[in-house]
Amino acid sequence: DMKVTQMPRYLIKRMGENVLLECGQDMSHETMYWYRQDPGLGLQLIYISYDVDSNSEGDIPKGYRVSRKKREHFSLILDSAKTNQTSVYFCASSLWDNTEVFFGKGTRLTVV
């Protein structure tokens, strides 16, 4: 079953705390993505990973970092979370040639 799995689905953190969002896929996709979605702004790319330890900044990388130590896992880390990082975060994956992309169900992060 082709799937992108995100954990957790909901998260509340205090400002200044560290946040770890996890993403897994079972399709052996080389490319993985982290997006955030905010009302009126659509989906914005935070980071893209082309394979293990091959990561590139997207359009809004500031305040985020990523880790990809296994092809099937891609983590998004917020060091010292800020209230403006409250958002819905989506992970996605695709084959190396950026063909069809598949999304996880999202993580709703609230930073208070």
Partner 1 sequence: GDQVEQSPSALSLHEGTGSALRCNFTTTMRAVQWFQQNSRGSLINLFYLASGTKENGRLKSTFNSKESYSTLHIRDAQLEDSGTYFCAANTGYQNFYFGKGTSLTVIP
- The contact set with partner 1 (CB under 8 A) reads 33, 40-43, 45, 48, 56, 58-59, 88, 90, 97-103, 105-106, 108
How many whole angstroms separate alpha carbon 40 and alpha carbon 32?
A: 24
How many whole angstroms separate alpha carbon 93 and alpha carbon 62?
A: 21
How many whole angstroms separate alpha carbon 26 and alpha carbon 95?
A: 12
For partner 1, the closer CB: 59 or 79 = 59
Closest distance between partner 1 and the C-beta of residue 55, in Å?
12
User: What are residue 84's phi and psi, to 5 degrees?
Assistant: -75, 0
Closest distance between partner 1 and the C-beta of residue 89, in Å?
11
For partner 1, the closer CB: 20 or 41 = 41
Residues in the chain: 112
Strand partners, 38: 42
Closest distance between partner 1 and the C-beta of residue 100, in Å?
4
For partner 1, the closer CB: 24 or 106 = 106
Closest distance between partner 1 and the C-beta of residue 8, in Å?
14
Which of 59, 55, 111 is closest to 88 using CA atoms? 111
For partner 1, the closer CB: 40 or 70 = 40
